[in-house]
Amino acid sequence: MIRKYFGTDGIRGKVGIAPITPDFVMRLGYAAGQVLAQTEFGTLPEPNRPTVLIGKDTRISGYMLEAALQSGFAAAGVDVVLAGPMPTPAIAYLTRALRLNAGVVISASHNPYDDNGIKFFSAQGTKLPDAIEYEIEAALERPLKCVSSEHLGRARRLDDAPGRYIEFCKSSFPNEFDLRGLKIVVDCAHGAAYHIAPHVFHELGAEVVAIGNQPDGMNINDKVGATDTAALSQAVQYHHADIGIALDGDADRLMMADSTGRIYNGDELLYLITQDRLTQGCLSGVVGTLMTNMALEIAFEALGVPFARAKVGDRYILELLRERRWILGGEGSGHLLCLDKHSTGDGIISALQVLSALRRHDKTLPDFFAGITMFPQSLINVRVADGTNWQTNSALMYEIERVEEELGKNGRVLIRTSGTEPLIRVMVEARTEQTAMQMAQRLAAHLMPG
């Protein structure tokens, strides 16, 4: 089946343009409420009817979409708990901790402020299965029929949501360690963790310099955060910090910097956490994605660590982890999953796993990367018309064959369609940066108009 609205990470788009409009989002809340009522409880009256938790990031459009979602759920007879601005993984945790039936996050993650989106979590704090998303899409095609007044949903606010989540994050850090003596720059991307992340690291003992912590509704991800790490690198050097942490707008991605301002991406942090877990004897295997750097695959083989690649996207990493019954996975963009700590990717908790490894082994970030050199990757995003199928481009397919033949075992090509934007992503990995860039440009040229 082909999903009409749901992509790899919920429903996302430009605010004011379908489907990110108030009327659609109200219908989405109603449709999701209907599916929840049937799936979880049947159509039972209060107090046994379903309850969902709604959180959001700091985009100005969140106010509008929150109201629309709340109306849709109420019309379906579903109660709502409003958490306000909270990281995506916080909603996953609180949904599970409060024994609610689903969690909903209003966020477009790393996208600009004028985008927004809706993503759902199950009662277990995991992304919804495809089958449930199909059911919601089918329900969207039916007319909205409000339940009778006595069965309308109610809404209340969860005032202590930040405090609950801060304590949860801290609980993932070993009791025998603290962060005293460390000066840490924390870049919150003017996003959902602005009032949470600095407190987590400070309460564990670190001296914290917070940046990207002044959201105004329109500056989320703007030259800050995990998708633009120049600000983090500069701040670490300026403040003579020991380490830097950058989150994205909804705080499920992580990038880090050492004391020189050198940035470490998700692939590198995954490798570090893998080494730490090996010494603890609690690692069965690691899941990466089609984009995971070849150097990791080679390094994992040398360490005797089983490694598997999933499709790009944290939901697919999670699916493969469950299938293999493994606990550790991630991707270069900064999504890291430690399933013994949380049910979903979490930037703050992932950072704490890195920091606990540094404490446990008394090492710095660079110490963990002696003997491994990452393959340079060149990634070009080509904006295309919706529905473009790059596999029907005969000139591109011929050029791919030529490039792969030239690379041999010293690199690889990956071309894929974005699941969240009208883009074709062209990635080439090679032994040298120049080779990777030149070959990526050769391939991307066949997708350019004219």
**Do 142 and 88 reside in the same domain of the chain?**
yes
Residue with tokens 């004011």: 16
Hunting for tokens 């992932």 — which residue is that?
Answer: 350
| Mean predicted confidence (pLDDT) in 70-91 | 97
> The tokens of 392 are what?
């029907």
Q: Which of 346, 369, 392 is the last residue of a domain?
A: 369
Task: Evaluate whether residue 5 is within a structural domain.
Answer: no
pLDDT digits over 150-208, tens only? 999 999 999 999 999 999 999 999 999 999 999 999 999 999 999 999 999 999 999 99
Residues with Cβ within 8 Å of 443's Cβ and at least 6 positions away in sequence, in order, are 380, 396, 399, 400, 403, 413, 415, 426, 428
Q: What is the pLDDT of residue 450?
A: 59
pLDDT at position 47: 55
Q: Where are the beta strands (DSSP E) in 200-290?
A: 207-211, 243-247, 254-257, 263-264, 286-289
CA 8, distance to chain mean position in Å, is: 11
Structure confidence at residue 44 (pLDDT):
40
- Cis peptide upstream of residue 47 (ω within 30 degrees of 0): yes
The phi and psi torsions of 14 (rounded to 5 degrees) equal: -75, 135
- Give me the CATH number covering residue 183: 3.40.120.10
Residue 218 lies in a domain: yes
Q: Can you give the residue range of the structural domain that contains 185?
A: 166-261
Q: Quick check: helix, strand or coil at residue 191?
A: coil
**184, 239 Cβ separation under 8 angstroms:** no
The upper half-sphere exposure of residue 422, i.e. CA atoms within 13 Å in the direction of its Cβ, equals 8
- Is the residue at 50 inside a domain? yes
Give per-residue burial for 395-429: e unless 16+ CB within 10 Å, then b: ebeebbeebeeebeeebbbebbbbbbbebbbbbbb
Task: Specify whether 19 is located in the same domain as 57.
Answer: yes
In this structure, the answer to whether residues 303 and 320 fall within a common structural domain is yes
Are 38 and 128 in the same domain? yes
pLDDT at 89 over 60: yes
CATH assignment at residue 434:
3.30.310.50
243-263: average pLDDT: 98
Cβ 57 vs Cβ 40: under 8 Å? no
CA dist 204 and 179 (Å) reads 6
Last residue of a domain, one of 159, 191, 210: 159
How large is the average pLDDT for residues 128-143? Answer: 91
The span from the CA of 329 to the CA of 376, in Å, is 21
The pLDDT score that the predictor gives to residue 67 is: 98
- Nearest-angstrom CA–CA distance, 186 and 200: 10
Sorting pLDDT into bands at 50, 70 and 90, what band is 1? low
**Identity at 449, one-letter amino acid code:** P
Q: Are residue 287 and residue 208 in the same domain, yes or no?
A: no
Residue 30 vs residues 7, 10, 60, 105, 429: alpha-carbon distances, Å: 19, 16, 23, 16, 45
Nearest CA-CA partner of 267 in 228, 229, 306, 293: 293
Please check whether residue 3 lies inside any domain of the structure: no
Q: What is the pLDDT of residue 387?
A: 81
State the average pLDDT for the chain.
94
User: Looking at the annotation, which residues are catalytic?
Assistant: 109
Of all residues in the chain, what percent carry a pLDDT higher than 70? 97
Considering the domain architecture, whether residues 249 and 281 belong to the same structural domain is answered as no
Whether 69 and 127 map to the same domain: the answer is yes
- Sheet with 79-85, side-by-side order of all strands: 11-14, 115-121, 102-106, 51-56, 79-85, 155-157
Whether residues 188 and 270 share a domain: the answer is no
- pLDDT at residue 362 greater than cutoff 90: yes
Domain membership flag for residue 450: no
On whether both 300 and 386 belong to a single domain, the answer is no
Do residues 37 and 153 both lie within one domain? yes
2 part of a folded domain: no
3-state SS assignment for residue 422: coil
Q: What is the separation, in whole angstroms, between the first and last Cα of the chain? A: 34
Q: Provide mean pLDDT across the span 275-287.
A: 93
The tens digit of pLDDT for each residue in 7-41 reads 878 999 999 999 999 999 999 999 999 998 775 44
Are 91 and 41 in contact by the 8 Å Cβ rule? The answer is no
Angle 433-444/394-407 helices, nearest 10 degrees? 160
Q: Which of 114, 142, 159 is the last residue before a domain boundary?
A: 159
Distance CA 286, CA 328 (A): 5
- DSSP, collapsed to helix, strand or coil, labels residue 184 as strand
What digits encode the pLDDT tens for the residues 316-356?
Answer: 999 999 999 999 999 999 999 999 999 999 999 999 999 99
Q: Are 280 and 254 in the same domain? A: no
Residue 4 lies in a domain: no
Do 255 and 365 contact (CB within 8 A), yes or no?
no
pLDDT for 213-240, tens place per residue?
999 999 999 999 999 999 999 999 999 9
Has residue 102 been placed in a domain? yes
Q: Tell me how many domains the chain contains.
A: 4
Q: Are residues 389 and 358 in the same domain?
A: no
